[in-house]
């Protein structure tokens, strides 16, 4: 009892308000009488000290635990629970609240409310899971099953909420690429400071206009990169390594070495594709001509998902087009060409051709199919390109991105073919 006696002496000396129970305990402690006499006044002492501030409660917790059996015998499970809740172990707090419920004829509302606060104020997923486990076990034996079931339902709801938030925070890595450079810059500032007085201060640190800083801040919170409460903020730990790498301002390289085998091929699937590609390179010296481009590289994923049916969209994800002419200034596709062959006469390929036609029509990209028959010369190919391009010029929509350049290109191609 020496440690407890010393603590009590200090607390008693610090109390300026007269308290006969403390005086009585002091006289017992000074006289060093047997512990039984201390236990006789423990209830009164406990009641007196537990009404004081949090600092006193923290020091009282040790004493309360030593006399827990006596306090429970006197019906003070609620006070033990409250003391553990504010200064000790939340798990023990729930344990004592449940004892209080079992021993009470009418369960006090204060106890129920306090118990709910245990998990309502906890962000620890494991701790809330322990609360749920304890309540699930207790609901089988409690004399107030309805109350425990109410607490269990409330704790499960909190657990589900924390699980959802935890998953959202963990998946922030997959949303990282969608962050703009200014948003990442603002996030780096938050990672570098401990506190701030208003967003204007953070915007100043980032060298950013307040309006834009506000928009980027909202996006960071929305995407779960910046975790904010009423009083605190912190960087999502799951994206912290990515943010650290971002601050290095370097290019990270990694070489994957050959294992000694080879499976390379030309980017063209046929000689006819190559011949038409060469013609277009000659006809479009001021533009970029690419062979075998995936449709995803020239059509917006989000827009195509909105514009076409599920079957066509599935084909869009895996299909490619033989040749694409791209603007060297806007890098927008201006013309796509598919080189057909006898393989396109099969029923399956014709279905796929129909899907590809619908995809290009929905995307608004000028699309032309060419089918060389026999062995046409370059001049013949030019003439055929011109013939079909002339029709494309007339059907070109003025609202398409890069319309002027696309129209100019098609007119040039049409003119070249006609002159020859």
pLDDT single digits (tens) 221-241: 999 999 998 888 999 999 999
Q: How far apart are CA 184 and CA 242, in angstroms?
A: 10
Neighbours of 250 (CB within 10 A): 8
Domains (ranges, CATH) in the chain?
1-74 (no CATH), 173-246 (1.10.10.10), 271-419 (no CATH)
pLDDT single digits (tens) 265-318: 888 888 888 888 888 888 778 889 999 999 999 999 999 999 999 999 999 999
pTM of the full predicted structure?
0.49
What is the average per-residue pLDDT within 21-49? 53
Strand partners, 288: 326
State the first-to-last Cα distance of the chain, in angstroms, to the nearest integer. 111
Contact between 70 and 39 under an 8 Å Cβ cutoff? The reply is yes
> DSSP code of 94?
H
Q: How far apart are CA 310 and CA 177, in angstroms?
A: 26
Pick the range with the lowest mean pLDDT from 9-13, 185-189, 227-231. Answer: 9-13
Higher per-residue pLDDT: 54 or 258: 258
Proportion of the chain above pLDDT 90, given as a percent? 42
What rounded mean pLDDT belongs to the chain?
Answer: 81
Q: Which residues contact 199 (CB under 8 A, 6 or more apart)?
A: 210, 213, 214, 217
Q: How far apart are CA 153 and CA 143, in angstroms?
A: 17
Q: How far apart are CA 163 and CA 224, in angstroms?
A: 14
What is the helix (H) or strand (E) element at residue 338, kind and residue range?
strand 333-339
Six-digit token string for 203: 């915007």
pLDDT single digits (tens) 107-117: 889 999 999 99
pLDDT single digits (tens) 104-162: 888 889 999 999 999 999 989 999 999 999 999 999 998 889 999 999 999 999 999 99
- Nearest-CA neighbor of 5 among 28, 39, 36, 37? 28
- Nearest-CA neighbor of 78 among 48, 54, 109, 56? 109
What is the average per-residue pLDDT within 72-95? 88
Beta strand 367-370 with 333-339 is parallel
Tell whether the model's pLDDT for residue 16 goes beyond 70: no
What is the average per-residue pLDDT within 360-365? 92
Tell whether the model's pLDDT for residue 8 goes beyond 80: no
Q: Which residues contact 12 (CB under 8 A, 6 or more apart)?
A: 22, 23, 25, 26
């Amino acid at each position: 009892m020496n440690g407890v006696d010393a603590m009590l002496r200090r607390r008693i000396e610090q109390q300026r308000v007269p308290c006969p129970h403390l005086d009585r305990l002091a006289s017992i402690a000074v006289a060093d009488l047997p512990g039984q006499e201390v236990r006789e006044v423990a209830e009164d002492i406990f009641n007196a000290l537990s009404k004081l501030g949090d600092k006193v409660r923290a020091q009282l917790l040790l004493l309360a635990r030593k006399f827990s059996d006596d306090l429970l015998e006197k019906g003070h499970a609620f006070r033990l629970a409250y003391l553990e809740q504010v200064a000790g172990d939340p798990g023990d707090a729930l344990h004592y609240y449940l004892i209080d419920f079992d021993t009470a004829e009418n369960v006090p509302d204060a106890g129920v409310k306090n118990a709910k606060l245990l998990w309502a104020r906890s962000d620890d997923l494991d701790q809330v899971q322990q609360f749920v486990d304890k309540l699930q076990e207790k609901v089988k034996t409690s004399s107030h099953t309805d109350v425990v079931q109410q607490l269990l339902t409330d704790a499960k709801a909190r657990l589900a909420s924390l699980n959802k938030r935890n998953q959202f925070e963990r998946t922030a890595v997959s949303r990282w690429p969608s962050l703009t450079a200014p948003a990442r810059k603002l996030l780096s500032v938050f990672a570098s400071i401990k506190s701030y007085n208003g967003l204007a201060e953070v915007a100043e640190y980032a060298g950013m206009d307040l309006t834009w800083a506000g928009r980027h801040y909202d996006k960071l919170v929305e995407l779960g990169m910046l975790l904010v409460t009423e009083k605190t903020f912190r960087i999502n730990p799951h994206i912290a390594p990515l943010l650290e790498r971002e601050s290095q301002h370097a290019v990270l390289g990694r070489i994957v070495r050959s294992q000694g085998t080879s499976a390379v091929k030309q980017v063209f699937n046929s000689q006819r594709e190559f011949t038409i590609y060469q013609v277009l390179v000659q006809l479009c010296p001021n533009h970029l001509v690419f062979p075998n481009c995936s449709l995803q590289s020239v059509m917006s994923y989000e827009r195509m998902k909105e514009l076409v049916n599920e079957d066509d969209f599935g084909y869009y994800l895996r299909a490619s087009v033989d040749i694409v002419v791209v603007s060297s200034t806007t890098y927008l596709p201006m013309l796509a060409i598919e080189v057909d062959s006898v393989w396109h006469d099969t029923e399956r390929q014709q279905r796929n051709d129909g899907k590809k036609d619908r995809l290009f029509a929905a995307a608004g990209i000028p699309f032309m199919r060419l089918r060389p028959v026999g062995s046409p010369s370059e001049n013949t190919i030019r003439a055929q390109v011109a013939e079909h391009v002339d029709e494309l010029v007339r059907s070109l929509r003025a609202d398409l991105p890069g319309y002027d350049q696309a129209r100019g290109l098609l007119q040039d191609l049409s003119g070249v073919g006609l002159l020859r």
